[in-house]
Amino acid sequence: MSAVLQAAGLGKAYRRTWALRDCTLAIPEGRVTGLVGPNGAGKTTLLGLATGMLMPTRGTITVLGQRPAAGPAQLARVGFVAQDTPVYARLTVADHLRLGAWLNPGWDDDLARRRIGQLTLDLRQRAGSLSGGQRAQLALTLAMAKRPELLLLDEPVASLDPLARREFLQGLMQAVAAHGLSVVLSSHLVADLERVCDYLVVLVASQVRVAGEVSDLLASHHRLSGPRREPSSLPAGQEVITESHTDKQTNLLVRTDGPVLDPAWAVKPVGLEDLVLAYLSRSGDDTPARHQHLGVVS
């Protein structure tokens, strides 16, 4: 299976601070990938590198097998909706559709007009007077009607109310189903991604903490609770993501590819949100968090 987005040792520094570093990733084709992390974790930087809006300081990135924004053909294969879904405030909705048609040889005007019709947007309305949700939908329509193979969305729903959020994600999922495109969307809220994503990348403090199929991640992470004991006594292959202790009890969130056999543990599955939160609260350095008492996730 080929990767729609492949990064090796990718890093981007602004002056002396790293916005993203040592990023090695391979996002497979045909997935809806959630890029999740707190604000400032490097999500926008990673998407900026993927669109060619930014140039890497270190390492390499290829999108659909090519250098980002390498030429008109490569640009045509990738759709991008930037943070805050920018549109030209002074141009009308119709102007935006015209703009899309002029600048994209693969423009699907039927798709664009159908979507605008479904959204009941007025073609003569200036984009500057649209609501946040309408603006996001217009930006998504532009990105989808160019018929890309990969759609990159940077916090597309962050500024939307819950209803507009749901409508936006529904529209996105319909398009994915209809055109079989790959999607990478970033969010700092797991709840947004939970319903739509089948692949997850967790970015914290400019580094990738975990990446994988959502189903695999859920299957390999367990919440263990049992009598108080030191996590270092766990068998090899069980990596502690978070731990918390009371006088008598120990609660762990572990990652393991095999089953947990120790009968002392009560083993429970982990929800996606808890799993992500566990990685977000884990310490920043690369050493395993075995000796640190962090992240009380109950």
Cβ proximity of 110 and 95 under 8 Å: no
| 14 is a site residue for another protein (CB under 8 A) | no
The structure tokens listed for 128 are 């500057």
Q: Going residue by residue from 201 to 230, which x/- string records binding to another protein, judged by CB under 8 A?
A: ------------------------------
| 239 is a site residue for another protein (CB under 8 A) | no
Q: Strand ranges (DSSP E) for 140-181? A: 150-154
Strands 207-213 and 199-204: antiparallel
One of 32, 35, 87, 201 touching another protein (CB under 8 A):
87
Minimum Å gap between C-beta 67 and another protein is 12
Max intra-chain CA distance, the chain: 68
Which residue carries 């987005």 as its tokens? Answer: 5
| 123 is a site residue for another protein (CB under 8 A) | no
Cβ neighbours for 178, distance < 8 A, ≥ 6 positions apart: none
| C-beta closer to another protein: residue 78 or 176 | 78
One of 8, 26, 53, 173 touching another protein (CB under 8 A):
53
Minimum Å gap between C-beta 11 and another protein is 15
The structure tokens listed for 101 are 């048609």
Minimum Å gap between C-beta 53 and another protein is 5
What is the distance between the alpha carbons of residues 240 and 238, in angstroms, rounded to a whole number? 6
One of 61, 139, 201, 214 touching another protein (CB under 8 A):
139
Listed residue (244, 225, 251) closest to 293, CA to CA: 244
| 59 is a site residue for another protein (CB under 8 A) | no
| C-beta closer to another protein: residue 145 or 297 | 145
| 234 is a site residue for another protein (CB under 8 A) | no
What is the distance between the alpha carbons of residues 261 and 212, in angstroms, rounded to a whole number? 24
154-168 burial, b at 16+ Cβ within 10 Å, e below that, comes to: bbbbbebeeebbebb
Minimum Å gap between C-beta 74 and another protein is 9
Minimum Å gap between C-beta 141 and another protein is 12
What is the distance between the alpha carbons of residues 99 and 93, in angstroms, rounded to a whole number? 10
| 15 is a site residue for another protein (CB under 8 A) | no
The footprint of another protein (CB under 8 A) covers 48, 51-55, 69, 71-73, 75-76, 78-80, 82-84, 86-91, 95, 98-100, 102-106, 139, 142-143, 146
